[in-house]
Amino acid sequence: MDKYRVVKCLQETGIVAIVRGIPAGKIEKIAAALYEGGVQAIEVTCNTPGYLSMIEALSSTMGDKMLVGAGTVLSPTAAQLVIDAGAKFVLAPDLNPEVVQLVHQNQKLAIPGVTTPSEIMTAYRLGVDIVKLFPAGALGAKYLKDLRGPLNQAAIIPVGGVNLGNIAEFIQAGAFGFGIGSELVDKKAVAEGDYATITEKAKAFIEAVRRARASV
């Protein structure tokens, strides 16, 4: 089941790579570089030109190795489009019950964006398995730790502003996993065709998660 596979992937590796604003012709090389570095889940955001064809291409060429998802999904229509294109999971910056319902009807994993305890509980009542704390960098690891005081049953992935310098602090605060964008998918490296740098960044994030989890 797709939902279980995504949850298991986050349990094992802790990282979803976020691809935003990348030329469509480079997406498969990016995915291959990330996979070589140990990342097994990738999301293409819906505000990336050509995102549907990118999701289709990744699902076709990398779907047996990586979990392919969509991000910045703002409406039920958009959710259906990305699922039809092959997305196994759907992330959003907000909590939209209609999007969650549609994703669940398609038996995929919905990861809505939340900030407050009320939003987390609303998501929980909608049957959401994992929520996205956004913007995590602005809120900080202490905010996550405080949230998890009364809500320690919630699986929360910080997104936005997470880097190698603060990822351990977020894990110590109880992060379930992470969505990592430009800190991982380096646009300069992509522009220069330097996919080895992306692989090395992927290895660094996977190792940082492993070490931090081992110390908790």
CB 214 within 8 A of CB 205: no
pLDDT digits (tens, 9 = 90+) for 96-132: 999 999 999 999 999 999 999 999 999 999 999 999 9
Whole-number pLDDT of residue 1:
62
Phi, psi for residue 88 in degrees, rounded to 5: -95, -20
Q: Give the pLDDT band (50/70/90) at residue 2.
A: confident
What confidence score (pLDDT) does residue 35 get? 98
In angstroms, the CA 187 to CA 55 distance is 19
Query: What single DSSP character describes residue 40?
Result: -
Tens-place pLDDT, residues 71-82: 999 999 999 999
Q: Answer whether the bond into residue 135 is a cis peptide, omega within 30°.
A: yes
In this structure, are residues 82 and 55 in contact, taking their beta carbons and an 8 Å threshold? yes
Question: Looking at residue 95, what is its pLDDT?
Answer: 98
* CATH code, domain with 186: 3.20.20.70
Task: Give the pLDDT score at 3.
Answer: 85
CB 38 within 8 Å of CB 200: no
Total number of domains in the chain: 1
Average pLDDT over residues 10-14: 95
| Domain region containing 75 | 2-215
pLDDT digits (tens, 9 = 90+) for 42-72: 999 999 999 999 999 999 999 999 999 999 9
For residue range 154-184, list pLDDT tens digits in order.
Answer: 999 999 999 999 999 999 999 999 999 999 9
pTM: 0.96
